[in-house]
């Protein structure tokens, strides 16, 4: 237990509390629009303790009738020591703006801490992205995410969780997005899981927070 709550672990748990507080302060005013996010992922194990993952995601808005965002991402992760792991990767994004599709390329690095407390699983991720964008000025973005897993009986195929994430745009110089989700990861087989989640995405635009409700499905395969 002492090793679990090391100095750095306590720091990241405090940072996670800040994320939750920021998410909770956003104005919960859901508009008429709803979104649907569909994600597919393939994971594999590599030599020397490295893991790889390729993810493809499509986001639909206008009550899940029209696609507006496509993302493809590849990431490589490695356990550093004890509860810590690190990763780096690349993301290509195509987002529609009016009638024009705009490109964005991101390079990212992340540090993750994981632990347990009385059966609850805890994870905090600090991710830094460099965004190469059309039209909008290039720059850095910081993403801080906390995930809490609900205790379940040993051998259970379900893993319910809640997550909160906050985005800090270093070009805009303020927090401009939050994501608050509740979901359940279901193990369909040793090689396949399905993540069903719902929540809100908050966006800070025109000096006000706007909330968009969404639901999503993520299918992950281990290859």
Confidence (pLDDT) at 32: 52
Q: Is 17 helix (H, G, I), strand (E, B) or coil?
A: helix
10-residue mean pLDDT profile of the chain (223 residues): values are 45 51 45 86 96 98 91 97 95 94 98 95 98 95 98 94 98 96 97 98 92 97 96
DSSP letters of 28-46? --B-S--EEEEEEEEEEE-
Residue 21 in contact with residue 125, Cβ under 8 Å? no
What is the pLDDT at residue 206? Answer: 84
Q: Supply the pLDDT for residue 166.
A: 98
Q: 29 to each of 6, 25, 129, how far by Cα in Å? A: 39, 12, 29
Domains of the chain and any CATH numbers? 7-31+81-222 (2.40.160)
List the structure tokens of 188: 């369909």
Residue 68 confidence (pLDDT):
96
What pLDDT shows up at residue 220? 98
| pLDDT value of position 45 | 97
Question: How high is the pLDDT of residue 8?
Answer: 47
Q: Identify whether the C-beta of residue 58 lies closer than 8 Å to the C-beta of residue 67.
A: yes
Enter the DSSP assignment of 49: G
Q: Are the beta carbons of 149 and 43 closer than 8 angstroms? A: no
Ordered DSSP codes for 165-205: EEEEETTTTEEEEEEEEEEEEEEEETTEEEEEEEEEEEEEE
CA distances from 78 to 46, 72, 220 (A): 10, 21, 19
């Amino acid at each position: 237990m002492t090793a679990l709550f090391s100095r750095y672990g306590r720091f990241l748990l405090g940072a996670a509390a800040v994320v939750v507080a920021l998410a909770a302060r956003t104005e919960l005013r859901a508009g008429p629009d709803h979104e649907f996010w569909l994600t597919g992922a393939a994971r594999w194990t590599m030599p020397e303790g490295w893991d790889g993952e390729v993810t493809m995601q499509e986001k639909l808005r206008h009550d899940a009738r029209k696609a507006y965002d496509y993302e493809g991402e590849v990431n490589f992760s490695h356990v550093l020591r004890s509860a810590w792991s690190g990763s780096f990767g690349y993301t290509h994004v195509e987002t529609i703006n009016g009638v024009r599709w705009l490109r964005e390329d991101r390079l990212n690095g992340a540090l993750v801490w994981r632990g347990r407390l009385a059966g609850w699983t805890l994870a905090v991720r600090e991710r830094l992205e460099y965004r190469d964008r059309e039209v909008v000025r290039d720059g850095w973005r910081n993403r801080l995410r906390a995930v809490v897993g609900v205790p379940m009986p040993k051998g259970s195929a379900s893993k319910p969780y809640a997550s909160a994430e906050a985005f800090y745009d270093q070009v805009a110089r303020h927090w401009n997005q939050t994501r608050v989700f509740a979901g359940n990861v279901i193990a369909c087989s040793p090689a396949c899981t399905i993540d069903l989640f719902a929540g809100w995405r908050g966006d800070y635009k025109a000096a006000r927070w706007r909330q968009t409700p969404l639901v999503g499905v993520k299918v992950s395969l281990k290859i």
